[in-house]
Amino acid sequence: MSRERRLTAGAVAVLLVALLGVAVVPGVLADPSADGPVRPGRVSIAESPAIAPEEVDGATATLRLHTRIGHAGNPTDNVSVRFRAYDAESGLLTAERTVELEELTGDRSVPVNATIEVPREGGYVIETVVFRDGRVVDRDRTRVSGLAALGTEVHFTESEAVPPLSVSVASVDEEANRTTLTVAASLTNGGESASDRLRVEVVLRQAESNIVAARQSTTVSGIGPGRTADATVEVTVPSDYNYYVDAAVYRDGVLVDTARSVANLDPTETISANMTTREVEFEVSDFAGDDGSQEERATEAAARTETATATPGFGPAVAVAALAGAALLARRRTRQ
């Protein structure tokens, strides 16, 4: 047999084997993409979440989250996005929301929106996690703070000409050793609408001991956009001491802003708002609760004076004479 015939016979044999395999195992030469598994496309976070307040009340804030999820490659289904809010200080989970996505196709990004409700205080870390078939494929973390100030733009005035707190002496009662101070808190509305009802609390603490000497609060509302108003209170404290004057403004029980000043009533030394405390002598009784009137204090003082002077002349000489008389009496009884 010639060489050409042998090659032809071999080619025919190979072709017959291939045809036999196709007949015995259907689908061997079929397109793999027709019935076989398809590898899903790539999914990732295309944009970090944009966070904005939606609804705010006295205790909670609803945050609106907006992000975009990118996709490339083959169609992908079973994709979900989970949003979690963790307390920035404690790390505790505060709120959670999961959004299921429809099948992703093409090379593009799709928007994902969600809302979560968190307590209106402190700050939070918003975690965004993308799942595909139950497995994590991407994640992102975004921090948000200042929730306590949401819903109001009123703050203590920040100006060199107008201090946030002004302290002046209203009256002095030298006999009772008491001084009445007038504290005016300057508030400025930096928003676009009039302010709601706000509560301003003023606390005076003796500088060295940190003892609260007085506490008073008042309310203020209707501060127009761009306007400034004063919230004024009067407090009475023991004289001859120095005090830190702390003020806080609250909206619906939520702390909005704070400010500090000083009241120097000690004529021998002064303090500043950022000075550390020092050890000095002071009378604790000056800071005890006092529900009596000035007349009652004067009557008690007069009674103490009268008691101390009710037996004039009763001094050391009288005491010696009394001891001598007692000794003579005891001697007579012994002789009898």
The reported pLDDT for the residue numbered 221 is: 86
Q: pLDDT value at position 1?
A: 55
From 176, 173, 167, select the one nearest 204 (Cα to Cα): 167
- pLDDT value, residue 197: 87
Q: Is residue 310 part of a domain?
A: no
* CATH number of the domain encompassing residue 141: 2.60.40.10
Q: Are residues 138 and 175 in the same domain?
A: no
| Measured distance CA(297)–CA(110) in Å, rounded | 78
Tokens of 289: 């609760």
- What does the pLDDT read at residue 283? 59
Do 167 and 260 fall into the same domain? Answer: yes
Residues 229 and 252 in one domain: yes
Residue 21 region, left (φ>0) first, then alpha (ψ -120 to 50), else beta? alpha
Structural domain of 256? 154-286
265-272: list long-range contacts, CB under 8 Å, 24+ apart.
265/179, 265/237, 265/239, 265/240, 265/241, 266/240, 266/241, 266/242, 267/240, 269/242, 270/242, 271/207, 271/242, 271/244
- The tokens describing 80, both together, are 């979900």
Q: Does residue 307 belong to any structural domain of this protein?
A: no
Taking the C-alpha atoms of residue 156 and residue 50, their distance in angstroms, rounded to an integer, is 29
Boundary-marking domain end, from 133, 148, 163: 148
Residue 262 pairs in a beta bridge with 244
Residue-level pLDDT at 259: 94
Instruction: Tell me, rounded to whole angstroms, the distance of Cα 64 from its chain centroid.
Output: 20
Q: Is residue 275 one of the residues assigned to a domain?
A: yes
Do 258 and 223 fall into the same domain?
Answer: yes
Residue-level pLDDT at 54: 84
pLDDT digits (tens, 9 = 90+) for 159-174: 888 899 999 999 999 9
> For position 6, what pLDDT does the model report?
67
Give the residues of the chain that fall short of pLDDT 50: 28, 32-34, 276-280, 291-320, 322, 333-336
Identify the pLDDT of residue 157.
Answer: 92
Edge-first strand order for the sheet with 79-87 is 93-101, 79-87, 124-132, 135-144
